[in-house]
Structure 1
Amino acid sequence: MELRDIEIFLALAEELHFGRTAARLCLSPARVTQAIQKQERQVGAALFERNNRTVRLTQVGPSAPGRPASAVCGAEGRVWNAPSSPVRASPARCAYGMLPLNAYDLRPYWDVFRLRHPRWKLRIHKAQLGEAFPALRRGDIDVLVSWLPVDEPDLTVGPVVFAEQRVLAVAADHQLVGRASVSLETISDFQHPHADTGPGYWYDAYAPRLARRGRQIERGPVVRDAEEAMTLAGMDGLVGLFPAHVARYWARPDIAYLPVTDLEPLPYALVWRSEAESEPIRALAGIIHDLGPLPSA
């Protein structure tokens, strides 16, 4: 059974109106009718009773073996909950993973999502650097805010949420402290932490391997997350690149932040597993598209 047909069933079970269901899913009423009729043929019984005035679930709809809702539990259970009564579907839940630290800056998107779709539950999770893509592929999270590029055949890249300049985190007593800014060429004199994150091109976009003149930038110890990279910068003399919002969210007495002048702003976008795309994911992407990316700091 197609996941789109399952979404149609669940939306109709909640709306109990073919026209509203079609409008909600951006479909024609005929497409909704065709999907329900197809499912009824597969089940071998009517799922809805309808006439010119009312639509309601039959007893078969929520309870028949092999019903569409049961397929959701197997195919999309981490996003959708199957109807628990013959009247309404349970709320959907969308788990949103964050690689950047600026969840508060993104609050306008969360607020609009909750205002427009109060029946859906949005949950914000911190994504671990090395586990971000595996968590997305396992279904632990449904969408991810990730820096670009993301060029993976099974993942869809949605709208850009924000783009930021980079800063260099150094120990408060580092020899670079006191400069107004630094260049990539300058920071190539120092060792940087390394992250074993998966796609090499992805981490290289965050922390380049080469300076402008082709000089190799040395990478040192492997870190699991940003906190570990920050600790190494404060204690062991390493330097680390971060998006600029880290300077606001992680003010520390042992760390100084220096603007990096010759790196392009790093864009972050919404990413999800293509085969798990759902109505809540499309709604969230649509809100980000409507509101546009955050203004540059």
Structure 2
Amino acid sequence: MSPRMELRHLRYFLAVAEELHFGRAAARLHISQPPLSQQIRRLEKELQAPLFQRTKRHVELTNAGRVFLGDARALIAQAEQAAGNAKRASRGEIGQVLVGCDLWADFLNGANIIRLFARRHPDVEVELRDLTATEQISALESGRIHVGILRPPVPSKALISERLLSENLVVAFPRGHRFKSYGRVFWPALGDEPYVLFSRRRAPAFDALVARACHDAGVTLRVKYEVEHPQTILAIVEAGLGISLVPASLQMVRRSAIAYRRLSPAGPALETVIAWRRDSELPLVQAFVKVAREVARSRRVPA
């Protein structure tokens, strides 16, 4: 479209082209006929092509006018769609939400939050980023993600965080293990077993919590494997090669060859939070947080 051509010029042209009468087109546009005629002449001058053939009794499109009509309709439709999309985006009805997820913090809430959000906002794209808690905090601060689901702490003053879930640790073990006969597993019993550790680099907050709990219980874990993915922990446990302390919500990932037991005493609580920028005014962020709150209220961690 020419720099000097405006959407109103296209609308004027479209009205005349559809009415083939300047008087009726002016009435349709709620303007007088002389300014309309003047604007059409300016448009023709801009295009360097006559759009209408005029007589005292008759108006018809020239060949250039017929070609321009199709393009003008498409441009107007595109502009109207763009305006409508902008309004819908401002209401949080369309757009994209970038969500950071820590694999070790997402067994109970994450999938349910995304499922419910997608049902309520079908035209919004949710893109997940697999990031550690530290990486999420940095990405939130820089605007590379909009929302994070992670383990605390969230020390940044630029961010708001809100608890979604508080749960305890449980011990995961092969189904044929002696722990199967226990109602609860006492902490000292853990020191006798080969242990599968979730990577300190991947989940430093989780590792610190486990280390503190073991210290308080006077237990030293016999670490045999250190891995970077929860599914790898389950695979090693399932193979009968060790046990592991995991969040209670991990029991939602069903494995027929793995059993779980609570600990005695229960040990420290493990929290999952949702975080977002304090200065965020994006409606989609608030909509996502609202859904997260609903899911958190409705869910219970298995014992």
Q: TM-score, normalised by structure 2?
A: 0.54
**How far off is 1:186 after superposition?**
2.5
**How far off is 1:104 after superposition?**
7.7
**Structure 1: any 5+ residue segments left out of the alignment?**
1-82
Deviation digits for residues 68-124 of structure 1 (CA, Å, limit 9, x no counterpart) = xxxxxxxxxxxxxxx9835532632113344322358735x7536753x5653334x
Contact 2:166–2:269 (8 Å) recurs in 1: yes
Partner of 1:120: 124
Pairing partner for 2:196 from 185, 193, 198: 193
Partner of 2:99: 96
Contact 1:143–1:281 (8 Å) recurs in 2: yes
1:260-279 mapped onto 2 (5 Å cutoff)? 260-261=263-264, 262-272=266-276, 278-279=282-283
Contact 2:173–2:237 (8 Å) recurs in 1: yes
Partner of 1:231: 235
1:211-290 mapped onto 2 (5 Å cutoff)? 211-235=215-239, 237-253=241-257, 255-261=258-264, 262-272=266-276, 278-289=282-293
Partner of 1:76: none
Partner of 2:207: 203
**How far off is 1:242 after superposition?**
1.8
**SS of residue matched to 2:208:** helix
1:169 equivalenced with 2:175 (yes/no): no
Partner of 1:39: none
- Mark the CA change 1:166 to 1:213 in structure 2 (over 3 Å): closer, same or farther: closer
Contact 1:158–1:285 (8 Å) recurs in 2: no
**Structure 2: any 5+ residue segments left out of the alignment?**
1-79
Runs of 4+ in 1 over 6 A off after TM superposition: none
Query: Could you say which structure has the larger radius of gyration?
Result: 2
Deviation digits for residues 4-28 of structure 1 (CA, Å, limit 9, x no counterpart) = xxxxxxxxxxxxxxxxxxxxxxxxx
Give % identity.
15
**SS of residue matched to 2:286:** helix
Partners of 2:188 and 2:226 lie apart in 1 by: 22
**How far off is 1:170 after superposition?**
1.0
- Mark the CA change 1:112 to 1:86 in structure 2 (over 3 Å): closer, same or farther: closer
- Mark the CA change 1:106 to 1:191 in structure 2 (over 3 Å): closer, same or farther: same
- Mark the CA change 1:166 to 1:200 in structure 2 (over 3 Å): closer, same or farther: closer
Partners of 2:169 and 2:286 lie apart in 1 by: 30
Number of residue equivalences:
208
**How far off is 1:167 after superposition?**
1.9
Partners of 2:220 and 2:279 lie apart in 1 by: 39
- Mark the CA change 1:263 to 1:222 in structure 2 (over 3 Å): closer, same or farther: same
Contact 1:169–1:240 (8 Å) recurs in 2: yes
Q: Provide the aligned C-alpha RMSD in A.
A: 3.7
Partners of 1:291 and 1:229 lie apart in 2 by: 27
Partners of 1:292 and 1:114 lie apart in 2 by: 17
1:146 equivalenced with 2:142 (yes/no): no
Deviation digits for residues 31-70 of structure 1 (CA, Å, limit 9, x no counterpart) = xxxxxxxxxxxxxxxxxxxxxxxxxxxxxxxxxxxxxxxx
